[in-house]
Structure 1
């Protein structure tokens, strides 16, 4: 057991706050491992106690540890999903920015050349710039010929 000595000290000290503070110092995956060790050690020590009340204590204790483990695993899975969503979103925004560059250049050229639809294109350019700013992909240098 990797954390046996520290766990023994914390169990003997019977300081829940110190235990909570110590466990928070570790990664979520390591917290699960620590709780498994803690569960194993605590169950072993319960049988040595004169005040041990039997099966009900084991059921309650085991259930709370298992709930904690499931919560940590669910949190880790959720973080992985969120990271993947952010990655996909970033890639999609980059593809959108690249593919629309030609269209945006056409809008700029239309405005510069004062084509018959230049006024409508200027309004469109203003909307595109606002969206790009909102998404964090705005490039002032690209739009500078019409600003």
Structure 2
């Protein structure tokens, strides 16, 4: 599911809102894509979603801004760059996947000149899942 390129005057605000929405509890790649289709932007989804969920008897709290600021500061210190779906350099093949990650952190360029494999895991991976990923990465390397 692709998202239109970010070209509004609020480019950076929308990019940060996409990061915050993706980090919000219970918002995975599929929910993220559905919310983008429904609300048209992450900024609007973050504004409206808590009210929509409340009407159904539930609750949803967007990812705390303080924690987001910490993540951004750590990324900046590491020299990492945020890439979100909608950015011109978001990998074209990746965005063809239905449950493609809406955000990526990268060190260095994203230009792939040869075949590549990426390992994507859960935010809260189990010990067994981490071991499998480590073994797989070692074998692929």
TM-score normalised according to structure 1 size = 0.23
Larger Rg, first or second structure (1 or 2) = 1
* Bigger relative contact order (CA 8 A; separation at least 6): 2
**Greater helix content:** 1
**Greater strand content:** 2
